Amino acid sequence: MTTPSPAMRRYRIERYLTEGGMGAIYLGKKLGAVGFERPVVLKQLLPEFTTRPEFRDLFFREARISASLDHVNIVRTYDLVRSDDTLFIVMEYVPGTDLRTISWRARRKRRPLSTAAVLFVAQEILMGLAYMHGKADPHGQSLGIIHRDVSPSNILCSVQGEVKLSDFGIAKATAFASVFYKVRGKVGYMSPEQARSEVIDARSDLFSVAVCVFETFLGSRLFVGDLQTPPEEVYSRELPSLSQLTADIPPELDQVFARALAPDPDSRFQSALEFFQTLRNVTQRYGIGYSTKDLANELNSLLGPDPEKWAHDETVSGDTQKLDLNSAPGQRAQLGKEANPVSSSGYPVPLFPE
């Protein structure tokens, strides 16, 4: 049996969660003196990619970009460790689930999230993006970080009401230019210019945020297609009026999202801070401000007090809830308990496609 490296002995893998793209995800613990333990998420570069320099490079760059970010609205990266030929990124574990799952559960229960809650989530993510987009090196030079994959599955809400942006697997920084960053985000969430493989900037992330928020209000997908669908077809849908869906949505939001979802980047909000301030002004004018405690209370009421159960819908058959571990290649890290279905960021997988 292979002896773990000194670095890897600082961590213990508790259970397999899921895998996707280049990585397998595990729930683990950081170990310290006198019985100290802290839950963490470990992202392993899959064995079939560890021998390919281009993918190792992409994995290292993901770790460097995410580790450079320290903000309450961004999932933190703590460490990059090697055990023999295996690489792990060690990340913050936040008990909760993603916005995609929350929206699904809310629809199943016919209890949509309140307007105040949705706008609070949006503002929190925009604050994280404002920090990320403005991140500079020690000399004051902008790092030019763009997330490129903002989607409901990467927006995490904790049981304490925290909101965090996760998964920087295809994030791009100016200093880390690579041909492999031509990997595209999710169809229907990436901006029209990103779908056309054009040069993008921070405004592309803002379009993605707007799609996530609009869909949460709408209760269904806004832009639908696949990688073979022409962008002009995907983004041709006329925006429905949010304020006509329910009296709880201020009419002013129709104009806000018409601007946020404009096809032309020059017609959108030009920064995350500008978008944030616009939404904050709306919440103040209509008296629908929210706090982390308010969000925690609403999620607790909707999903229950135990975040481990937030992904599970009692109306769905047990077979849907099971994850087939037998299909996983054999050279994964040593596993413990049977996995529960969770997303690639360590959060429960929703039971509907994105």
Residues with a known catalytic role:
149
d(CA 15, CA 253): 43
d(CA 4, CA 11): 10
Query: 3-class DSSP state for residue 19?
Result: strand
Strands (E), 100-154: none
Q: State the pairing for strand pair 96-98/155-158.
A: antiparallel
- Report the largest interatomic distance among the alpha carbons of the chain, rounded to a whole angstrom: 64
**Cα-based torsion angle of the residue sequence 149, 261, 196, 164 in order, rounded to the nearest 10 degrees:** -10
Whole-angstrom Cα Rg for the chain: 20
What is the spatial order of strands in the sheet that 11-20 belongs to?
11-20, 23-31, 37-45, 86-92, 77-83
Q: Which residue has the tokens 């295996």?
A: 86
Dihedral sign, Cα of residue 114, residue 115, residue 118, residue 123:
negative
74 phi and psi, to 5 degrees?
-130, 130
Encoding tokens for residue 83?
């055990």
What letter represents residue 282's amino acid? V
**Cα-based torsion angle of the residue sequence 159, 78, 151, 254 in order, rounded to the nearest 10 degrees:** 70
> For 29-33, which contacts have Cβ atoms below 8 Å and span 24 or more sequence positions?
30/78, 30/90
Encoding tokens for residue 36?
């100290």
Dihedral sign, Cα of residue 3, residue 9, residue 15, residue 16:
negative
Q: Which residue has the tokens 């021998």?
A: 51
